[in-house]
Copies of this chain bind each other. A is one copy, B any other.
């Protein structure tokens, strides 16, 4: 066996090797690849490899349904009241629906909208629309006619599926559209699953969902995406800060976020998922697709109330559910609440849940996972991954840890807190605020027809969330505020979230939101909007005193207003409305 001489071109390795193996002469001892480069046959790249249908398919959630129809064929796919479907049936129905859409003229790239709560049609459309090659646009079911007409125009939807209880709002929207001389989308009415609706109310030009579906054929050949980058859905943002934007998801991103979200939810084979998260919101955090991947059971609800939640958990052996902190708040403050018959995993996201609510949820028997994300990150992006060593901490301490937004799930490349201006990472000191930035395959493709907004959101090669957070020494992030919500008072930054957390810890407070009130002297001062629990009565002075006892004085609200808080349909408080109110109050000083 012959060894070559070590050449001088190789540096850096020498000193430490030398230290460790000084017992032989280095010059005779070590070799470098360049010593025999050219002596091997040149590395023939990988020319014998073949990319073909056997080993390459564009990633798409459509696969999940096709597999479920085989693997979980006779298992229940979906329950809605007294209706039950199996995965084989759901697959067949989606095929027929896709077929019917294509017979109607829907072609790849067309947008198909929905305007409905979590009824079975919503689940089916999550597969049927992409199977027809089209793009699903799920409108928030709590929008008014004006907003629906704006979004139908912007999305250029060719068809809109409308729940029968939302028909009047939809008709109002179509009337508004008609005034603009643009042809309105074809309306397909969803009325099958409720006894109190009747197809005789159909107007000319309108279809009924079930009979429309029945026109389709099961032999329909699925129009699969040509590229996994093809769009699968458009989700309009809930508009907490500005005009709604159409966030475009790709088949690839939807596939990858579905799997990451399954792992985040700790969903094993055949979970039972109670749909308390609206499917129109980030496609149900991608679980409309994800549940099919695990052959789970979808328990659909038209209305989400604590009574229905507790009934369904017991009736269907629910294993998982989700919801904004509003839903959690509703559960822990409901007279219908009771200890659970078995552990239920609940994920919460949308805004930071007050530790008090987390604590009470755990007491009832829920295992709460706190996640964070935006419409732009397909819903879940980070979560507060639980460390076993935290199990032995006092519950109150656990709740505080759990209220943090945590770390990125497995589908993302990187989440970091960076200075919004310089883009430099902030130190992990738990104090320095920066903007949460995302990078990875589960970040949106961009904003539909809004290149400027897309480029702004991606400037610097990261998706800029607009949320302000700190990074703790253990790397976990914690949101302090929206970039646009932060209050600057006398030169000090005040995190409205921190003030709200203190307000929530007051026994009389049901809901609280803090915004900036303009001030001639301080620039801004904190102004709290509060809703009290029933039967409680405290005044502004008491709450201000409570905040001063629990916060630096400059952070305590100077104004407290008692009223119902305006919310988006996803449960987020519409701070821009409150900011307008606070602005109208004028300066305090």
Query: Nearest-CB distance from A408 to chain B (Å)?
Result: 7
CB-CB under 8 A for A199 and B21, given A215-B13, A231-B46, A475-B71 = yes
Contact A37 B105 (CB under 8 A): yes
Contact A33 B205 (CB under 8 A): no
Query: Nearest-CB distance from A306 to chain B (Å)?
Result: 28
Return chain B residues, CB-CB under 8 Å to A37: 105
Copies in the complex: 2
Contact B269 A269 (CB under 8 A): no
**Which residue in chain B gives the minimum CB-CB distance to A71?**
B407
Return chain B residues, CB-CB under 8 Å to A202: 21
- Selected from B205, B414, B443, the residue in CB contact (under 8 A) with A55 is B443
Q: Mark A8-26, 1 if CB is under 8 A from B, else 0.
A: 0010110011001101100
Cβ-based interface call for A208 (8 A): yes
Interface of A is mostly: loop
Cβ-based interface call for A294 (8 A): yes
Return chain B residues, CB-CB under 8 Å to A410: 63-64, 67, 259, 293-294
Contact B475 A73 (CB under 8 A): yes
Contact A56 B208 (CB under 8 A): no
Q: Mark A97-115, 1 if CB is under 8 A from B, else 0.
A: 0001001111101110000
Cβ-based interface call for A509 (8 A): no
- Selected from B16, B45, B215, B475, the residue in CB contact (under 8 A) with A214 is B16
Q: How far is the CA of A212 from the CA of B16 in the complex (A)?
A: 8
The stretch among A307-315, A458-466, A492-500 that forms the contact with chain B is A458-466
Cβ-based interface call for A438 (8 A): yes
CB-CB under 8 A for A47 and B441, given A37-B105, A266-B268 = no
Contact B445 A49 (CB under 8 A): yes
**Which residue in chain B gives the minimum CB-CB distance to A99?**
B12
Query: Nearest-CB distance from A377 to chain B (Å)?
Result: 10
- Selected from B34, B104, B208, the residue in CB contact (under 8 A) with A13 is B104
Contact A31 B186 (CB under 8 A): yes
Query: Nearest-CB distance from A139 to chain B (Å)?
Result: 18
Q: How far is the CA of A474 from the CA of B178 in the complex (A)?
A: 52
Return chain B residues, CB-CB under 8 Å to A200: 23
Among A510-524, those with CB < 8 Å from B are none
Most buried by B among A51, A56, A212, A385: A56
**Which residue in chain B gives the minimum CB-CB distance to A415?**
B70
- Selected from B10, B23, B263, B444, the residue in CB contact (under 8 A) with A103 is B10
Q: How far is the CA of A67 from the CA of B75 in the complex (A)?
A: 36
Q: How far is the CA of A23 from the CA of B455 in the complex (A)?
A: 52
Among A525-549, those with CB < 8 Å from B are none
Cβ-based interface call for A83 (8 A): no
Among A176-203, those with CB < 8 Å from B are 178, 182-184, 186, 199-200, 202
Return chain B residues, CB-CB under 8 Å to A408: 67, 71
Contact A158 B33 (CB under 8 A): yes
Q: Mark A193-229, 1 if CB is under 8 A from B, else 0.
A: 0000001101011011001101101000000000001
Contact B248 A46 (CB under 8 A): yes
Q: How far is the CA of A259 from the CA of B438 in the complex (A)?
A: 21
- Selected from B70, B109, B208, B444, the residue in CB contact (under 8 A) with A45 is B109
Q: Mark A326-367, 1 if CB is under 8 A from B, else 0.
A: 000000000000000000000000000000000000000000
**Sample of 15 more A-B contacts, CB < 8 Å, known A17-B215, A32-B104, A55-B458:** A10-B103, A13-B100, A13-B104, A21-B211, A35-B183, A39-B182, A53-B462, A55-B253, A55-B439, A59-B256, A67-B410, A72-B385, A73-B475, A263-B263, A268-B268
Q: Which 3 A-B pairs have the closest CB atoms?
A: A33-B105, A3-B205, A49-B446
- Of the A-B pairs whose beta carbons lie under 8 Å apart in the complex, a sample of 20, sorted by A's number, is A1-B174, A1-B178, A4-B205, A12-B215, A13-B104, A17-B212, A33-B159, A40-B183, A50-B454, A54-B461, A54-B463, A55-B439, A55-B440, A55-B445, A56-B229, A59-B256, A66-B414, A70-B475, A71-B407, A259-B410
